[in-house]
Amino acid sequence: MSAASPAFASPGEVRQNGAPRPGTSAVQSVLGPWIRAQALNLVRHAKALRNFTREEFGTGPEAPTDGHVQAVNRLLGKLRVGLKKRARRMVRLAAEARANPSAGRLTTLVTHKHLAHDWVKAIEKIWDFYFELFGQRQSPFGLWLLSTDRIALDCYQVTYLGIGKEKSVPAPPPFCYMRTGFGPATYKRGIKLRQLGRQYNPFPLIQLPYHRMVNPWTLGAVLHEVSHNTQSDLGLSRTVPLAIARALLRAGLGRRVTRVWVRWNRETFADLCALLLGGPCVVASLMDVVGRSPEITYGFDPNGVHPTPYLRVLISVELLRRMGFHAEAEKYARAWTTVYPGPPKGVFPAEILRTAPRAIALVVDALCYRPIAEIGNKTLADVYRFGQKEQRMIEECARRLAAGTDPGIVPERFLIGAARFALDNRLAGAEAIRVNFYKELARR
């Protein structure tokens, strides 16, 4: 007896004479409804990949801004144009296949369904990416992320107020989100992202590890990652490596040494700007990052874009000295070289190590103390004025932060240094510093 026999149907599906009962699955058509459902599924899936609204991610200040939501919706809207065309064609193909379910029409239908589904998956990947990022603002960490947003915004504001040339105002500002893992990262505005299916990123994204958020005195990383974005937004992506190359070649350091330092240009620029933005305490934050096992800290990667960790701190020490913080520069240099007295022979290119003191001084001078046409012939040190006065502001802020009182009108970026100063000088316990840090930034 075949499986299609009424003997295999449930008692409710057959009459007493064994014939299928009308209105039951036993007499339901399969092919026609299935064809109709393929078109319906695609149309409904396309509609479900809707625009976001700001309100669905909370109503407090930690929610994504209207600008961020609108930028993502514009991106999704562009992608939905193609998907809607495919959905409309799917409806036509389904109607034709239902009217005449020939082999050719059915093959055309399922092939189009497969290709349209690839579009759905691509858009869904982007939709899901931002749904997760925006959704973090409804978590217990929403106010932490708002705090880092405000630090990033402060960095952009001081940059565009400090330059000597009119530039279009970037929008939206950077958006911070949290990830587990060791290191922070950033994704610049206007670059194609793998996470977005190679679509252009509409605004800077700053990824911060959870362990940094828990310990806000390590958030010098925010200043570093923001600086990657300002280098791009200010149009300095070619200017910075060219400035390094010219300085080193004119000093006779040779092409091999110069190529290494040019390759390190973006990370060096970000380290230097972070220090100019935040002051001496940023060096301690950098040491948190690069102070690892000797094998890693002395390790030289011939293709790496980061300066060898051992040299990264020495670069910042040189800038600290040029900023007028001679005593602090000496203390950081002594502490760093006590832990890392120098790479053993054979593990580091001798020529790079031998020329490092001269190269470091030249690079710091070229990037921070030479006029740059793209920013109105100002130097970075002029744009980001940080001296003893600013450091005293941070120290006063640290004492207030530790006491739980209003730290005053200091810029948001200075609170990182204040938290570090309070921690290093034991002005309060670590947890109290963390609580007061986020409390102050969240209320602004």
pLDDT in tens, 409-418: 999 999 999 9
Q: Are the C-beta atoms of 287 and 315 separated by less than 8 Å?
A: no
| Domain assignment present for 359 | yes
pLDDT at position 2 over 70:
no
| Domain assignment present for 180 | yes
| Domain assignment present for 24 | no
Q: Are the C-beta atoms of 173 and 149 separated by less than 8 Å?
A: yes
- pLDDT at residue 46, as a whole number: 85
pLDDT at position 18 over 70:
no
| Domain assignment present for 169 | yes
pLDDT at position 67 over 70:
yes
Q: What is the mean pLDDT of residues 228-234?
A: 96
The token pair that represents 198 in the structure block: 């190679």
Q: Which residues contact 240 (CB under 8 A, 6 or more apart)?
A: 231, 265, 266, 269, 367
For every residue of 281-339, DSSP letters joined together read HHHHHHHHHH---HHHHS---TT-SSPPHHHHHHHHHHHHHHTT-HHHHHHHHHHHHHH
| Domain assignment present for 8 | no
Q: Are the C-beta atoms of 154 and 414 separated by less than 8 Å?
A: no
Domain count, the chain: 4
CB atoms within 10 A of CB 293: 8
Q: Are residues 245 and 343 in the same domain?
A: yes
pLDDT at position 13 over 80:
no
Instruction: Give the residue among 278, 339, 276, 277 at the shortest CA–CA distance from 309.
Output: 339
Q: Are residues 436 and 405 in the same domain?
A: yes
Q: Are the C-beta atoms of 421 and 408 separated by less than 8 Å?
A: no
| Each residue's pLDDT tens digit, 109-142 | 999 999 988 888 888 889 999 999 999 999 999 9
Q: Are residues 151 and 121 in the same domain?
A: no
Q: What is the end-to-end Cα distance of the chain in Å, rounded? A: 78
Q: Are residues 379 and 396 in the same domain?
A: no
For residue 349, cis peptide bond before it (omega within 30 degrees of 0): no
CA 128, distance to chain mean position in Å, is 16
| Domain assignment present for 396 | yes
Decide: helix, strand or coil at residue 193. Answer: strand
| Domain assignment present for 146 | yes
> Which of residues 234, 249, 282 is at a domain's end?
234
Q: What is the mean pLDDT of residues 37-51?
A: 89
> Which of residues 117, 138, 159 is at a domain's end?
138
> Which of residues 102, 119, 138 is at a domain's end?
138
Domain that holds residue 305: 235-385
| Each residue's pLDDT tens digit, 385-406 | 999 999 999 999 999 999 999 9
